[in-house]
Chain A
Amino acid sequence: MKFPTIKSESLITGIIKITGYSAIIFVGLIFYFLISEGLPAITKVPFSEFLKTRWYPIEDYFGILPMLVGSFIVTVGALIIAVPIGLLTAIYISEVASRRTKEFLKPLVELLGGFPSVVLGFLGLLILSQYLREILNLPTGLSALTGALILAGIAIPAIVSISEDALDAVPKSYRDASLALGATEWQTIWWVTLPAAKSGVLTAIMLGIGRAIGETMVVLMVTGNAPMMPKGLATFFNPTRTMTATIAAEMGEVANGSTHYNVLFFIGIVLFVIALIVNVTASTFVFRRKKRSERILS
């Protein structure tokens, strides 16, 4: 048997090092590009203009507030639907289902996550939106609700898969201890297993938020893209326009270097900042929990 020489070892280490650093470089370059293309928008358009409620870029109305609210509504709507369903599915697969059901169910859920979003968008456009309009008697089925439902369908597999892994990783001794103390199975799941897997479940939900807020194709197809400001609870059933859909719909035809072009990149920066806030919040949460539990365990 021939042992690898020091030389080849260092070569391999070098390659791995480069690939590792390349991720940082790419993120840095993307960030630089986003800033350099998006920041000129602030000098070209007064900041107060962004906070107005009218978005009509071909006549220089650059109020991004309707899209900010639109993204928020669709994402929150998707989470309200996806988090309970996703979590309960994960609990069922991990804690309740028999081994055979589990082996059958989990790949199926993951397969659902592999569907191209444009296919789901098409189904939403041709089938879901029509049913919603007839059942709920809406003026049009192209609404925030339709978008939220389909985004929930996209987020659920991610939430199920990751929270199931987290629940699965909870040591069996925890459950045994709880059951030995006389807790029922449901009490064990709710008060012991789920809290123990909290950080993984939280990561799953954050990833779900990430998928929902960043999804473009589906919302472009099914939300109607009307940049209108919300009017109470009815907003969920009205058409809405998200930031991602705006960038996708308008970037293709915009003149390079124009104010409109810069403003679209500025919207990209806003999205980036939101994603950053979600991630930072998530990681501080997870980090703080780990510390405390470590303290308790030691």
Chain B
Amino acid sequence: MITSHKYLFILIILILAACAPKTDTEEALPSDSKEYINNTGSDTIVNLALAWAEKYQEVSPQTNIAVSGGGSGTGIASLINKTTDIANASRQIKSVEVENALANEIEPIEFVVARDAIAIIVNPNNPIDELTLQQLSDIYSGKINNWGEIGGEDRPIVRLSRETNSGTHVYFLEEVLRLGQKENDTLFSTDTLLLPSSEVIGAEIRSNPNALGYDGLGYVTDDMKVIAVTASQEKDAEFIYPSAESVNDGTYPIARDLYMYTAGQPKGAIKEYLDWIHSPEAQQIVTQLGFVPIIAP
């Protein structure tokens, strides 16, 4: 028995030794020519910011960009605390935040880097062409349940939505369901289908004539029908289709700008990076990720 315990003991020691952390001898020391940019903020933009940072590595290998999320507020707060170089935000900076920044001797400079638009989509066989935001709100909150009530065929409406963790879901809730009103606490009808990805929404829209859905404009394909919308309640209101033009000139109502903020006018590597973001090459990545590129004026 004693020998068996001895072997057991040796074995345990070996296993424990294998678990020990590797010593960091081969970690490369940063060379002096390297530039580091910290990029923090909005979770809506985090994937876009990552894609940009990755691509920029090929364009300018001497620049290292560290991207992290946390939310627009977190990003702007760390810009004010001087812990990040570029803050990402899916909303404009608040006046309180500007005051805080100025108190900390930082002048936030705003750059619009991309735009985000939500397209309302239905099956190609659905005769409905246009809807007001009020109608959309009533449909998604469960007040309107049949296409017949809004001038379509006598069919039940199947509401499709992205999962609650999607930035698009939250934006749709605030701007369409609650019509942008802060005190409005309308919720999605409980029978709204919460689908895990744009692909699943697309599959259901293509095949089901009852379905109504929404998604980022970049995810819309030719075999879905896009609905024109208006924020106005008036009878002769013009219904607008989402497109790069209508989003860029601000006539499409369910669209927002996406921002980056820097502390003071950017210089050096940061300026080069922001200039590159506005280039056609970087704006092409915007389209790939389902956002709307900004059109140079």
Binding site for B on A (CB under 8 A): 6-7, 10-11, 13-15, 17-18, 53-54, 56-59, 61, 66, 125-126, 130, 133, 139-142, 220-221, 224-229, 238-239, 241, 249-250, 252-254
Contact = CB atoms under 8 A, between A and B. Distances in A.
A130 B207 contact: yes
Given A139-B158, A226-B194, A13 B4 contact: yes
A58 to B, nearest CB: 5
A18 B11 contact: yes
B156 interface: yes
- Interface size class of chain B, counting residues whose CB lies under 8 Å from the partner chain: 20 to 34
Interface stretch (B57-65, B93-101, B132-140, B185-193): B185-193
A224 B156 CA distance: 16
Nearest to A11: B7
A238 B156 CA distance: 13
A4 to B, nearest CB: 14
Contacts of B7: 7, 10-11, 14
Which of A10, A17, A58, A241 has the largest number of chain B CB atoms within 10 A? A10
A53 B11 CA distance: 53
A227 B188 CA distance: 11
B193 A253 contact: no
Interface in B181-221: 185, 187-188, 190-196, 200, 203-204, 207-208, 210-211
A241 B194 contact: yes
Nearest to B71: A255
B200 A221 contact: yes
20 contacts: A7-B3, A11-B4, A11-B7, A13-B4, A58-B164, A59-B187, A61-B187, A126-B203, A139-B210, A140-B158, A140-B211, A221-B196, A224-B195, A225-B163, A226-B192, A226-B193, A226-B194, A227-B190, A241-B194, A250-B164
B8 interface: yes
B156 to A, nearest CB: 4
A141 B4 contact: no
A258 to B, nearest CB: 12
A57 B211 contact: no
Contacts, number: 90
B165 A14 contact: no
Contact of B210 (A140, A225, A228): A140
Given A14-B11, A18-B11, A56-B164, A6 B3 contact: yes
Nearest to A54: B190
Contact of B193 (A18, A142, A229, A249): A142
B43 to A, nearest CB: 8
A228 B159 CA distance: 13
A229 B190 contact: yes
A53 B166 CA distance: 22
A254 B69 CA distance: 12
Contacts of B191: 226, 228, 238-239
Q: What 6 A-B pairs are tightest by C-beta distance, nearest first?
A: A253-B165, A10-B4, A224-B193, A139-B156, A228-B190, A225-B194
Contacts of B109: none
B164 A57 contact: yes
Nearest to A55: B190
Contacts of B165: 58, 249-250, 252-254
Nearest to B192: A226
Contacts of A58: 164-165, 170
Contact of A14 (B4, B195, B200, B211): B4
A126 B163 CA distance: 20
A227 to B, nearest CB: 6
A140 B164 contact: no
Contacts of A220: 196
A69 to B, nearest CB: 12
A229 B195 CA distance: 18
A250 to B, nearest CB: 6
Interface string B97-128: 00000000000000000000000000000000
A125 B208 contact: no
B273 to A, nearest CB: 27
A253 B185 CA distance: 23
Nearest to B43: A253
Contacts of A57: 164
B187 A249 contact: no
A56 B160 CA distance: 15
